Structure formats: C-alpha cells, structure tokens
Amino acid sequence: MRCLGNAPLWEKNPEHDDEKGKEHWRSLRIRDTDNPEERPGFVGASAVPVILGAAGSYEGVTSLWAKTLGRYREEFRGEHLKTMNMGHILEAPAMDEFRRVLKYDMGELFATADLFQWTVAHPTKEHFKVTPDGVCNINGKEGLVEIKYTEFDRDGSWSFLRHKGEIKPESKVERHWLQIQAQLCVTGLDYAFLVGIVGARTALHLTHGLGAGDDFVVFRVEKDKKMISLIEKEVDKFWGYVESGEMPKPTHYKDDAALRKLLPRAKAGSVLHSEDAKELVQEARKMKKDLSEIRKKYEEVKAEIRHVMQDAESLDVGVGKPVTWKENSKGKRMLQI
C-alpha cells in the first residue's frame, strides 16, 4: 500500500465526484453510536482549530461534538455555501497556478504538484484523519498543499500575509495554519504550502486562464513540533467526550444554537440552585445592559448620518465603501453603513 509520510492511505475521497459523493463523505465523520465499530467517525483537520479554540474558528467544541455524534446538523446557506462551492470549483485551476509559481516564480523547475483525493489516517489514532487538497515534491521531499478561497478578506489577514510574509495572530489565516499543522501531524511530513485565492476577481481570472495576479498567495508552512504535540493531546481529549457521550463546555457563540436544539424542554416548576453560575449570570446581565447602551448610541449616530445625507443616494467619506440606503420589505429605508 502506498504511504504518504508515516501514515498509510485509508480510503479514496469521493468528495470531488458529485453532490452525492460529498454527502457520503461528510457522513463518514459522524460516529454511529449504535454501531461504533462499523462507523466510528473521526476528527478531520478542519476541526482542529475548533478543538483548540482558535479565534478564527467558525464554531465551538459543543457544536462540533454534537455534529460528530449526529445529534446536530448546521445547514450552510448564502455566502458560506457559495464560498464552499467555489472552493471546490477552484481547486484544479488553483493547483495549475501553484504548479506554475512553484516552477517559475520559485525556480523549482523539477518540482511536481497534484491534487490528492485520498484520506490519510494518523498512524496510531484511528479517530484522527485528514484530507489534504494536494501534494507536492521538491528535490525528492514530499509536502502538502492546502487551497483556500475567500471572497472578502474581512480581517485583512491575507493582505497581512502577502505584505508581511507572516501570519496575523488570531485571524482566519491562523486557523488555516492550524489545519495544516494537523495535516502534517497525521501524515508525518515536514512542510506544506498554504495557497490563497483572495477575492472574486482572482477566482474569475483563474477560471478563465487570465492569470491570478497579486491576490494569489503562496506561503510555505513548516512543521511546528510543539503545536503538533498539543494537537495530538487535544484531539484525544475531544475524542474522549465523543466516546463517553459527555457534553463538553461551550467555547463559541454558535454553541448556543446547538444547545438550543440539543437540550430537552424545561420541566415546569423545576429550579436549579447553583452558586457556581453566579458570576456567569452577573456577567451576562452586565453585558445586556452595556449592549442596550451601545444600541442607543448607535441609533443616535445613525440619526446624525441620516441628517447629513438628506436625500442623497450614497455618502462617500473617503474611507471604505460609501454609506447607502436599502429599502426593506416594509418599505423602510435602512442605512447600509
């Protein structure tokens, strides 16, 4: 059996084939609690930033735990779904452009790079498996390729990476870095490339063979042994919650949506006495009061902006996008700031 690094290939990934294949592949991550030997489920690389509580994570540990046990499912809609679909479409042209950068911009004329449609299992942890987007080979040394698409660089982390050559702390790109460290952990390889397709224009150019331009970002990531040790420890800890069925504490605002679906309806007349939760409740009440004051101030500032705009369609202040109007379903003009 062919190996990648120190981990054997486990199963072909049908995710690139069709929508049915994608759905089947997602289901393999879910643990069948009635037949765990038949379908034990697993932790993927994209889950590692969530487990570590990374600032750029899109969900929390409670939500991830519930999804892994098949108790909760989040439907992707709108911009998130569009971005995910575009990411799959762009993998092949992005790999072609990365191969060109590798050979001609970086001078590695004899290097190779290809998409990788397999899942790799950790050599000692069956509950930890990764699916790299691609593999490359430079001077006989194998590495990984992770391709990311973002329509908007909202936190400026891709721009920071392109101009500074560094990963911005507590950013979306740091989340991608952690995912790559998880892939290096499982495969045993020493390096990978993070490939970023930043903006819809860059994506359009790629798909039409027009050249990617400056917003096609290639960044080499080296293995971080300390981080890999932490990842192995925290993945095992998370999997302990999965196997025991014990719910971990929430770590993200999206965990609240999962908890609303997971927890049973309140029993009429029941009272829970807990001194331990006193600080939490006091903190929540203070935040609620602070939010009320912020909302009032926000409405005051919006009123001043409306007064400045009068009947103008947009307000250009020379910084960022112009302020505009949008009419809602009730016919009210809403400020788009």
**168-209, pLDDT tens digit by residue?**
999 999 999 999 999 999 999 999 999 999 998 999 888 888
**Does residue 27 carry a pLDDT above 80?**
no
- Which residue in 132, 156, 153 sits closest to 143, CA to CA? 132
The answer on 136 and 26 residing in a single domain is yes
The answer on 161 and 212 residing in a single domain is yes
pLDDT tens for each residue of 277-309: 999 999 999 999 999 999 999 999 999 999 999
Number of domains forming the structure of the chain: 2
pLDDT at 218: 96
Distance from C-alpha of 117 to C-alpha of 14, rounded to nearest angstrom: 7
pLDDT at 271: 93
Kind and range of the H or E run holding 114: strand 112-115
The answer on 166 and 17 residing in a single domain is yes
User: Domain of 85: which CATH number?
Assistant: 3.90.320.10
The answer on 289 and 208 residing in a single domain is no
7 domain residue, yes or no: yes
Last residue of a domain, one of 244, 261, 285: 244
255 domain residue, yes or no: no
The answer on 49 and 7 residing in a single domain is yes
Predicted confidence band at 160 (pLDDT cuts at 50, 70, 90)?
Answer: very high
The answer on 215 and 308 residing in a single domain is no
Residue type, 294: I
The answer on 89 and 230 residing in a single domain is yes
Predicted confidence band at 13 (pLDDT cuts at 50, 70, 90)?
Answer: low
Predicted confidence band at 23 (pLDDT cuts at 50, 70, 90)?
Answer: low
Domain that holds residue 87: 3-244
Predicted confidence band at 37 (pLDDT cuts at 50, 70, 90)?
Answer: confident
Distance from C-alpha of 282 to C-alpha of 284, rounded to nearest angstrom: 5
The answer on 305 and 218 residing in a single domain is no
The answer on 323 and 219 residing in a single domain is no
265 domain residue, yes or no: no
Rounded average pLDDT over 41-57: 94
Last residue of a domain, one of 244, 265, 290: 244
C-alpha 22: how far from its chain's center?
17
The answer on 220 and 295 residing in a single domain is no
258 domain residue, yes or no: no
262 domain residue, yes or no: no
1-15, 68-82, 102-116, 197-211: segment of lowest average pLDDT: 1-15
The answer on 314 and 224 residing in a single domain is no
Report helix angle 157-164 to 172-187, nearest 10.
70
270 domain residue, yes or no: no
pLDDT at 285: 95
The answer on 223 and 285 residing in a single domain is no
Residues facing 217 on adjacent strands: 196
pLDDT at 283: 95
Rounded average pLDDT over 106-127: 93
Residues facing 106 on adjacent strands: none
